[in-house]
């Protein structure tokens, strides 16, 4: 039997090249997420229940990347997470949140908290009846009072189709923060807010769709309600659907991709995970627009330990990219990224973007509460094939009586649960990764990711070379 050598990020270094780069600001991190979607930075937050919900997706998209909302919730809840991202900022909010005139103050507070907004349009039969903001109810003690008693009735409006520049003039002239758009019959047609306009200036590199809304993806499984879930997510505005399965080179995954593409031909579809050129090629032939690569490379994944299967991540990416190039389909490197150097190597090997899990876990934007242990803050981080995650899925899908009757030895986890240190905002991590990548491009003599991929030259290093690469012979402060 012939044994092929497999390498991962710590096994290699990129050879420095003559560089025309004077400043890192000259580099361009734009890349392809999939066949049809572009990003301004090559970073994706993993579709894990301890990593990505709407808060993470919003933060990533504002920086130029994209978040993939995990699937371990009801369809309605996942749709709601997608809508939160889409409504977080926009050129024009096409379907603004509204309340009825007979809504009570108590109900209004609940809606504001749920939607994360400070003001709501009041509608009556689809027509604009007024507007109610937090300042209208700040000192209101009677929680049973109706919105109709407190709302502003004389609302400054604009016609549907109003441009941003026109909206700026109206907002400034009347010193208002919200500008409802109405049609000729007075029906609500949209909303423009000063907050969203300011965000356009604050986050100039945000990844947005054609309507000016932040990009967001959502994951689906390969069993049960995946078609129903896909339809609901696409209707909510999800820009891409990710078929989420540990072993993407399987009939389950290939059939799911085929069925989704058949039902929704225009759906931008990503699938994985695979670790070989054949796996990438078969997914592409089934209809995907991007291939996710990585089996067993994640920090909390024990697939290689449990099953003995996997391919070191750098080799897996190189093999998948070679196959995907035949079809001009982007490859996503998923797993094993611990530093900006790892990110640079993954992209230099041909990946168009990288999915990040553990580095983004433990941040303010990741789901879950902060815990304190021995005076230090932590957050939960777990693999989606871990014991508790698998048991939780079984419980939600089949009910407690089924789980209770099952032999717990039937569950063979391929992931673990862990506590990761609290890290603050994910924005700082994203900017550190992007900054390191820009430096990596300059060392490769490249101004863009595609140019780096053309220029890249890897050299294999020994264990001594790896030690030499780390801080050594000093006491690190």
Mean pLDDT by 10 residues, the chain (477 residues): 91 95 92 97 96 97 98 95 90 86 91 87 89 90 91 91 90 90 90 87 92 95 94 97 95 97 97 96 98 90 87 97 97 96 98 96 91 88 63 49 47 71 95 97 96 96 91 79
Domain shared by 358 and 433, yes or no: yes
pLDDT at 400 (0 to 100): 46
* CATH classification of the domain holding 112: 3.10.580.10
Is residue 383 annotated as involved in ligand binding? Answer: yes
Residue at 388 is within a domain: yes
Q: Is residue 476 part of a domain?
A: no
How many Å apart are CA 330 and CA 427, to the nearest integer?
25
User: Is 417 annotated to bind ligand?
Assistant: no
Residue 475 in any domain: the answer is no
Residue 28 known to bind ligand: no
Q: Classify residue 145: in a domain, yes or no.
A: yes
Residue with tokens 């609901």: 232
The answer to whether the annotation marks 298 as part of a ligand binding site is yes
Residue 301, annotated as binding a ligand: yes
Flag whether 342 is in a domain: yes
**456 within a domain of the structure (yes/no):** yes
Verify that 226 and 350 share a domain, yes or no.
yes
The reply to whether 103 and 75 lie within a common domain is no
At 403, list the tokens. 């789980």
Q: Is 385 part of any known ligand binding site? A: yes
380 and 438 share one domain? yes
Which residues are 75's β-sheet partners? none
Name the token pair of 374: 């021995």
Task: Print burial letters for 66-94: b (CB count within 10 Å at least 16), e (below 16).
Answer: bbbbbbbeebeebbbbbbbbbbbbbbbbb
Residues 434 and 463 in one domain: yes
Given a contact cutoff of 8 angstroms between Cβ atoms, the answer to whether 417 and 380 are in contact is yes
Q: Is 336 annotated as a binding residue?
A: yes
Regarding whether 328 and 231 lie in a shared domain, the answer is: yes
Question: For residue 15, what is the DSSP state?
Answer: P
Q: Which helix (H) or strand (E) holds 463?
A: helix 463-469
Q: Is 206 annotated as a binding residue?
A: no
Is 67 marked as binding a ligand?
no
For position 312, what pLDDT does the model report?
95
CA 437 from chain centre, in angstroms, equals 19
Reduce the DSSP state of residue 259 to 3 states and report it. Answer: helix
Question: Is residue 272 annotated as involved in ligand binding?
Answer: no
Are 242 and 330 part of one and the same domain? yes
Catalytic residues: 301, 393, 396
Cα–Cα distance between 148 and 145 in angstroms, integer? Answer: 8
Q: Give the pLDDT confidence score for residue 93 in this predicted structure.
A: 84
**Which pLDDT does position 195 carry in this prediction?**
84
The CATH number given to whatever domain includes residue 242 is 3.20.20.70
Q: Would you give the distance in Å from CA 364 to the centre of its chain?
A: 15
Q: Are residues 41 and 164 located together in one domain of the fold?
A: no
Domain that residue 372 falls in: 9-89+206-468
* pLDDT for the residue 404: 47
Which of 157, 183, 202 is the last residue in one of the domains?
202
Is residue 477 in some structural domain?
Answer: no
* Cβ partners under 8 Å of residue 110, min gap 6: none
Domain end among 178, 202, 226: 202
Evaluated on CA atoms 188, 194, 197, 202, the torsion sign reads negative
Do 26 and 145 have their domain in common? no
Q: How many CB atoms lie within 10 A of CB 201?
A: 7
Same domain (yes/no): 181, 246: no
Last residue in a domain, options 134, 167, 202: 202
CA dist 294 to 38, 84, 136, 331, 390, Å? 21, 29, 52, 10, 20
Question: What is the helix (H) or strand (E) element at residue 7, kind and residue range?
Answer: none
118 annotated ligand binder: no
Domains in the chain, number: 2
Same domain, 147 and 264: no
Q: Which helix (H) or strand (E) holds 399?
A: none
318 is in an annotated binding site: no
Note whether 282 and 357 are same-domain residues: yes
What contacts 350, CB < 8 A, 6 or more positions away? 317, 318, 321, 322, 325, 331, 453
Tell me the C-alpha distance between 353 and 356, whole Å. Answer: 10
Residue 473 lies in a domain: no
């Amino acid at each position: 039997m012939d044994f092929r050598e497999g390498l991962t990020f710590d096994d290699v270094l990129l050879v420095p090249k003559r560089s025309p780069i004077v400043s890192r600001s000259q580099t361009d991190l734009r890349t392809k997420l999939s066949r049809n979607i572009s990003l301004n930075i090559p970073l994706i937050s993993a579709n894990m229940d301890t990593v990505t919900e709407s808060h993470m997706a919003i933060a990533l998209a504002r920086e130029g990347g994209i978040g993939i909302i995990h699937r371990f919730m009801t369809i309605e809840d996942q749709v709601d997470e997608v809508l939160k991202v889409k409504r977080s900022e926009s050129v024009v909010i096409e379907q603004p949140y509204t309340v009825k005139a007979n809504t009570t103050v108590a109900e209004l507070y609940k809606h504001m908290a749920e939607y994360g907004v400070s003001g709501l349009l009041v509608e009556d039969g689809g027509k604009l009846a007024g507007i109610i903001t937090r300042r209208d109810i700040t000192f209101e003690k009677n929680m049973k009072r109706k919105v109709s008693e407190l709302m502003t009735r004389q609302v400054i409006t604009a016609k549907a189709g109003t441009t941003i520049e026109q909206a700026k003039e109206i907002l400034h002239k009347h010193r208002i923060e919200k500008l409802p758009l109405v049609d000729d019959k007075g029906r609500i047609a949209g909303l423009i807010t000063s907050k969203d306009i300011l965000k356009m200036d604050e986050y100039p590199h945000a990844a947005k769709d054609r309507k000016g809304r932040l990009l967001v993806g959502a994951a689906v499984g390969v069993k049960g309600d995946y078609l129903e879930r896909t339809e609901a997510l696409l209707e909510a505005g999800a820009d891409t659907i990710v078929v989420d399965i540990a072993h993407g080179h399987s009939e389950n995954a290939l059939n799911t991709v085929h069925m989704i593409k058949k039902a929704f031909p225009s759906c931008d579809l990503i699938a994985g995970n695979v670790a070989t050129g054949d796996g990438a090629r078969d997914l592409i032939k089934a209809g995907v627009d991007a291939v996710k690569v990585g089996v067993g490379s994640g920090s909390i994944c024990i697939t290689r330990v449990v099953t003995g299967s996997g391919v070191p991540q750098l080799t897996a990416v190189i093999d998948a990219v070679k196959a995907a190039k035949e079809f001009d389909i982007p490859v996503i490197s998923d797993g094993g990224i611990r530093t900006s150097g790892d990110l640079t190597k993954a992209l230099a090997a041909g990946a168009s973007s990288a999915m990040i899990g553990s580095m983004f876990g433990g941040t303010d934007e990741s789901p879950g509460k902060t815990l304190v242990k021995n005076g230090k803050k932590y957050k939960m981080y777990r693999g989606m094939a871990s014991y508790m995650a698998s048991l939780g899925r079984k419980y939600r899908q089949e009910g407690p009586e089924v789980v209770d009757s099952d032999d717990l030895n039937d569950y063979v986890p391929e992931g673990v649960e862990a506590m990761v240190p609290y890290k603050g905002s994910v924005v700082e991590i994203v900017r550190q990764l992007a900054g390191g990548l820009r430096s990596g491009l300059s060392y490769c003599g490249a101004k863009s990711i595609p140019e780096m991929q053309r220029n890249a030259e890897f050299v294999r290093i020994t264990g001594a070379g790896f030690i030499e690469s780390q801080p050594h012979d000093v006491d690190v402060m």
